[in-house]
Amino acid sequence: MNRSSRNTVLVAGSANLDFVVRAAHVPAPGETVLGRDFATFPGGKGANQAVACARAGDAPTHMLLALGNDTYAAPLEASLRDAGVVLQIVRAAQPTGTAFICVADSAENAITVAPGANHALAPEHLSALDQVSCLLLQLETPLPTVTAFAQRARAAGVRVALNAAPAQALPRELLDVLDVLIVNEGELAEIAQVHGDIGGALARLEVPCVIVTLGARGACARVNGEFVVQPGFRVTPIDTTAAGDTFCGALVAALASEADFASALRRACAAAALACTRLGAQSSIPTHDEVDAFLTAQPAPDAAARCELALFCGVPYAD
């Protein structure tokens, strides 16, 4: 079966129940901060990205994940199913993953993750890939498992996308089978071992498509040797949790539907911007129609803004 006859995104990765407290600022080492509102939200990079694929990207989405036999698993399953994600659940002896998040009034956050069941995901858990167009991975599950999944997908002719977060060194055997690598600025520097030169770091990584997200600035990519920049959209942020995950899911869904790359990048930036205007992880992810409406209301692309972003990244730009 050729790639064009497939249309399903498979996300293989983590799911966590997020314990979120809002505070004036994120605590410094040794500091105690009195918080205000507290709530729990379904989260985890893999689960967030699956919801974004299905909701913001409107793509047929499956997810392979590991959960414990505990009460924390139920809201995660419910949130994913409500978004239309088809679940392939591995039941683990470990407790369901959790994350502890402090969200500051500036909308920035600090996150500590207890992986739990996520570390039970193993190479043998990946099922048939016959109807899958793209496999989307992250690094909150064991690196040997991520590598094995990627290698098997490449052998099956499936596009492989990796969001290399949390940052860590990537083995050559993983980089060699990636089609798309998505990182933030810090992760890019860590993996490429190039600091202070975004364009140079992008050029150093031997992956066909490397994308760096730059927060409110937008995103920059190198695609088959050519650079593409997409300035960010102006919004009033409330919580940046899951903005990067929303970007990843929306981008991969667009690519799976065979959108051109520049359009996919613009849509991913728009979805991520909207996610910043709402509290929580999966609860903040916009729908496909909301992204459409947001993009329709935006002014025409600004050549000056694109040029400014290209200069910031140290990459060539031609309107």
Q: DSSP assignment, residue 124? A: G
Number of H helices, E strands in the chain: 10, 13
SS3 108: coil
Name the catalytic one among 37, 239, 245, 302: 245
SS3 91: strand
CB 211 within 8 A of CB 181: yes
Q: Is the dihedral of CA 127, 55, 8, 167 positive or negative?
A: negative
In angstroms, the CA 286 to CA 278 distance is 9
In angstroms, the CA 269 to CA 209 distance is 16
Phi, psi of 43 (to 5 degrees): -155, -150
- Annotated catalytic residue 179: no
DSSP characters over 261-298: HHHHHHHHHHHHHHHTTSSSSGGGPPPHHHHHHHHHTS
User: In one letter, which amino acid is 56?
Assistant: A
So which residues are the catalytic ones?
245
